[in-house]
Structure 1
């Protein structure tokens, strides 16, 4: 069944607790949304096969817990990652301010220097926005990241 898969890519989703990492993963892999989704314990893992220009790629997506108490578990998950989705909540400035800490972890534990980073400003449908889109874009550009 995997004979036609060109490659497998390891993708991490990181960020503070409650920013919507698991919701992004579920929406992408299962096309579902649960507003009552419980916090991730340690790490969750899903696989999705996508087709790009007629070539199939398997995405192994690791959803890491954002709580401080699970931070000792995550360094091993950084190993071998080819892409990272760094998520913050636009309604909580503290999650944006702590992005530098997540980037430091990435630099410390990641074993590749060609990793692709994407910054995601999540929960844009909510009121009481605390982080402007331009702030996110500026941060992403400063750190050579994709941004959405």
Structure 2
């Protein structure tokens, strides 16, 4: 499989309060793409998947970040390097959206 060009490589981050489903969201992606690689680190999980969109290979690198307060510096360093963010919240808990 040819390596996608930079404009076909997208770094995405999953953010949200504790308990809103960030890891569940990332786990579903892992289940749907089990052949791709996944890395579990202390403060975050990284999944890389390749999808075919209109005949072109698109590589997505998805980071599921910890929402712990002490991991804030790690999280902020990722913000500058991402192309998109999934913001997850609990629709039954208004505070999780603030």
Q: Give the TM-score category using the shorter length.
A: 0.7 to 0.9
CA-based RMSD: 2.0
What is the Cα deviation at residue 78 of structure 1?
Answer: 1.2
Q: Quick check: 1:46 aligned with 2:47? A: yes
d(CA) in 2 for partners of 1:41 and 1:95?
Answer: 23
What is the Cα deviation at residue 76 of structure 1?
Answer: 1.1
SS in structure 1 opposite 2:47?
strand
Structure with the greater alpha carbon radius of gyration: 1
TM-score normalised to the size of structure 2? 0.79
d(CA) in 1 for partners of 2:58 and 2:48?
Answer: 10
2:36 counterpart residue number: none
Q: Is there any run of 5+ residues in structure 1 with no aligned partner, and where?
A: 32-39, 99-148
TM-score normalised to the size of structure 1? 0.54
> Which of the two has greater strand per residue?
2
Q: Flag the structure with more relative contact order, 1 or 2, with Cα contacts below 8 A and sequence separation at least 6.
A: 2
Structure 2 counterparts to residues 75-114 of structure 1, below 5 A: 75-96=76-97, 98=98
Query: 1:70-108: per-residue Cα shift (whole Å, max 9, x none)?
Result: 212211111221111111011222101x2xxxxxxxxxx
Deviant stretches of 4+, over 6 Å: none
d(CA) in 2 for partners of 1:11 and 1:46?
Answer: 10
